Structure 1
């Protein structure tokens, strides 16, 4: 008898139950995974619920969920209910799923989420609810979900929420794309101190108020693409300090505001001192003025594309920047780039300036030999001296940039037919004048600098020796005065008229001399 029990003890550990035991006919069960199809309700015909960790009920015909549907799935970790027709979820439906970490309710017919639906989901970290019909969220909808880090509410009809709807200190990523939000109340972030990514693309936001992101000390990524934003208040990214001596700055590293209605580069961007990725494309900006990005010392990626009205970039527009990637494409009114615009950027590796209306490109625009990638095709290059250098330049840094340069085309003035720049005959244009003019300008500049330097030296010399110069001047003035007096005395010595009225006096008296000297 003892031997039988001993053998049973050896064999028992090798008996492993799986979800495939007593798997329903409309489900596929493998190890700890169950996937069902064609269901109108949650299947309950499993022999062992405890081994099921992943339950995929997506693409079925579920219309509602009750608190009895999942009470036996005590070890469930991932639950997929997306692509159903669920319109109602009873309170307590998920209360037994204490190990659930991923819940997908996307693409259903939910119009509201009752308070307490997610209560007791103490392990939930990822929640998908995109593409429903949710218009508003109540205060306690996410109450008692302590580990929730990711929420997607994209493609709903959300137009607002209560002040502390997202009362989740653990929340790190919030996706609110494609809703009906018209503003971003700053108090909605009061209870999300660890939020680092927020996506608000495709809403109806018209402006960003002061201190909107002030309560997000760890925010690193903000996307506001394709809204109706016309301006950002100057303190939009300002961090409000309780301590007046605090030096805390906004921590945003990635900021995009593509496809809005900005007419100028917002001054509020000055507070994004940690941003390294900035995209302001698709706005109604007409000019990029001098040093508008000068405070963004950490900026490495800048995209200024698809600007239908952009026609001017100031010579020092990017002053102070050391970019790695610059994308400036599809700006149909941009005809010219200033010389030396990118010349000071020693880490520049990618320059994309294709599909603009550029008629030429300055040879000294940037350090071309350092680029790993370069594109400037599909512009309006005119076959003139402004592109002649592209035919003769041999300093391209990679085979890719060299090949691209060889495929660039230009057209003659008044002729829309394009020809390869490398094959065009520039000799008859006399383009050598460019270097002569450049040398002349350098010579004039050096001459002017020399004159200024000499003038400064003379002024400094006179200032340092001013006492001696004044003394010498007074000596000179005195001697001149003395010489004048002697001349007058000599003249009257032979005069027939003396100063005392004596017509026959030949020699002036002492009084006469004194009168002359005074």
Structure 2
């Protein structure tokens, strides 16, 4: 079967979609050249291609070209000659390129998307993308990029909207390379080796809306990390090493609507930490080591969703949510909560879902979970479910016992559980599939 090539062809008004898998793919290309056909998409996978020579596709009109999972080490200067005004998408994933094929890509003036994921591309030391005025997305994930020069994106600063640099070896933000990329909307630098968000790390990015830095080694955020980045709405900082948020560190993100700080090591949320963040709607603090939330920590925010599961909180008071009247959903599951003070949630008129499951409450006063008539409170796997009148869910003012619940807590020695240890934190979500640096095989990144 290894020597066989399977091809499929589907014809459409705007061109054929041709997909070939196997070593004879290049022969199919040679035959297609003679037909002078419009090709909406051409896929040549697992064809053992090592090099793409000059004018490899001359005479063809290809809008999308996929050369994934080959062994490509070299792409000659004029490899895409004839496609300059036609080719819109180019994918060379899972190959053996050690650098961006600058000369080969030069002049692809209709190219919108370029995917070079899973190669062996090293540092971007020169102007890497030339004469591609319509380029919108650059995917460079799963390579060996540790440094990016100031001029790497020089010629595409006004067009590129999405840059993906996940699973590389960057140790700091490529600030100079990104500065004044006024069309950039999303920046992904997950699973690199960044340790600090320094002053001026992101500058003059007027359109940037999403920043993903999940899975780095970040322990410090400078209060002046961003400068003139007025539209940053979505910030993902999960799976880092943030143990403390410096005063004013979060206030710079004034436009932010969603912030993910899950799977860090914070032990306390100080008063006014998020105060003044007038657009913050969703805050994820799951799987830290938070023992205390100081009064006013979320004051003056329009928070709608607050996630605090898998922390070390032992009690809840009305002051915890002081100044956050718009909350709709709150999760405090998998903590050490034994006490919920009366009226802790009574002032949250919009709250409709409260998760207190997997805590240590042996009893709870009705006033402790008093809220709106439509408030649903989950208390599964608390010791209180073991009582004769135990219940699992409070729906409005109705206590509901669910006969399908396993009540695993009742099989433990919960009556003698007086020592509070932080619950075991769950593993972070599995990473997306990446590629092994030593092979062409796709595996889960480590």
TM-score with structure 2 length normalisation? 0.77
Larger radius of gyration: 1
Does the 8 Å CA contact 1:214/1:237 hold for their aligned counterparts? no
Does the 8 Å CA contact 1:209/1:232 hold for their aligned counterparts? no
Residue matched to 1:34:
42
Residue matched to 1:339:
342
Q: 1:92 aligns with which of 87, 100, 103?
A: 103
Q: Does 1:72 align with 2:85?
A: no
Q: Over residues 71-95 of structure 1, what are the superposed CA-to-partner deviations in whole Å (9 max), with x where a residue is unaligned?
A: 3222100111111111123432211
* Structure number having the greater strand percentage: 2
Root-mean-square deviation (Å): 3.3
Secondary structure in 2 matching 1:52 = strand
CA drift of 1:144 comes to 1.4
Q: 2:27 aligns with which of 15, 22, 25?
A: 25
Does the 8 Å CA contact 1:396/1:402 hold for their aligned counterparts? no
Q: 1:111 aligns with which of 96, 112, 122?
A: 122
Does the 8 Å CA contact 2:136/2:159 hold for their aligned counterparts? yes
Q: Give the distance between the partners of 1:88 and 1:211, measured in 2 at CA.
A: 34
Residue matched to 1:60:
70
Does the 8 Å CA contact 1:81/1:105 hold for their aligned counterparts? yes
Secondary structure in 1 matching 2:321 = coil
Does the 8 Å CA contact 2:282/2:306 hold for their aligned counterparts? yes
Q: 2:172 aligns with which of 148, 151, 160?
A: 160
Q: Give the distance between the partners of 1:260 and 1:392, measured in 2 at CA.
A: 30
Q: Give the distance between the partners of 1:19 and 1:383, measured in 2 at CA.
A: 62
Q: Give the distance between the partners of 2:160 and 2:104, measured in 1 at CA.
A: 18
Structure 2 CA distance for partners of 1:274 and 1:82, relative to 1, 3 Å: same
Q: 2:144 aligns with which of 133, 136, 139?
A: 133
> What are the within-5 Å matches in structure 2 for residues 309-348 of structure 1?
309-321=312-324, 322-331=326-335, 333-348=336-351
Q: Give the distance between the partners of 2:411 and 2:120, measured in 1 at CA.
A: 61
Secondary structure in 2 matching 1:127 = strand
Q: 2:263 aligns with which of 248, 259, 266?
A: 259
CA drift of 1:16 comes to 8.4
CA drift of 1:362 comes to 3.2
Structure 2 CA distance for partners of 1:347 and 1:259, relative to 1, 3 Å: same
CA drift of 1:162 comes to 5.1
Residue matched to 1:498:
none
Does the 8 Å CA contact 2:385/2:392 hold for their aligned counterparts? no
Does the 8 Å CA contact 2:377/2:393 hold for their aligned counterparts? no
Residue matched to 1:361:
364
Q: Give the distance between the partners of 2:411 and 2:128, measured in 1 at CA.
A: 70
Residue matched to 1:4:
none
Q: Does 1:290 align with 2:301?
A: no
Q: Give the distance between the partners of 1:188 and 1:65, measured in 2 at CA.
A: 34
Residue matched to 1:230:
243
Q: Give the distance between the partners of 1:18 and 1:48, measured in 2 at CA.
A: 15
Q: Does 1:375 align with 2:388?
A: no
CA drift of 1:190 comes to 1.5
CA drift of 1:235 comes to 2.1
Secondary structure in 2 matching 1:144 = helix
Does the 8 Å CA contact 2:73/2:95 hold for their aligned counterparts? yes
CA drift of 1:57 comes to 0.6
Q: Which runs of 5+ in 2 are unaligned?
A: 1-12, 19-24, 33-37, 416-446
Q: Over residues 450-505 of structure 1, what are the superposed CA-to-partner deviations in whole Å (9 max), with x where a residue is unaligned?
A: xxxxxxxxxxxxxxxxxxxxxxxxxxxxxxxxxxxxxxxxxxxxxxxxxxxxxxxx
Secondary structure in 2 matching 1:93 = helix
CA drift of 1:374 comes to 4.6
Structure 2 CA distance for partners of 1:177 and 1:389, relative to 1, 3 Å: same
* Structure number having the greater helix percentage: 1
Structure 2 CA distance for partners of 1:355 and 1:81, relative to 1, 3 Å: same
Does the 8 Å CA contact 2:185/2:210 hold for their aligned counterparts? yes
Q: Give the distance between the partners of 1:354 and 1:94, measured in 2 at CA.
A: 55
TM-score with structure 1 length normalisation? 0.67
CA drift of 1:220 comes to 0.7
Corresponding residue pairs, total: 384
Does the 8 Å CA contact 1:213/1:236 hold for their aligned counterparts? no
CA drift of 1:414 comes to 6.3
Does the 8 Å CA contact 1:66/1:89 hold for their aligned counterparts? no
Q: Over residues 349-379 of structure 1, what are the superposed CA-to-partner deviations in whole Å (9 max), with x where a residue is unaligned?
A: 22222222222333231337403x6532122
CA drift of 1:391 comes to 8.9
Q: Does 1:190 align with 2:200?
A: no
Does the 8 Å CA contact 1:345/1:366 hold for their aligned counterparts? no
Does the 8 Å CA contact 1:363/1:389 hold for their aligned counterparts? no
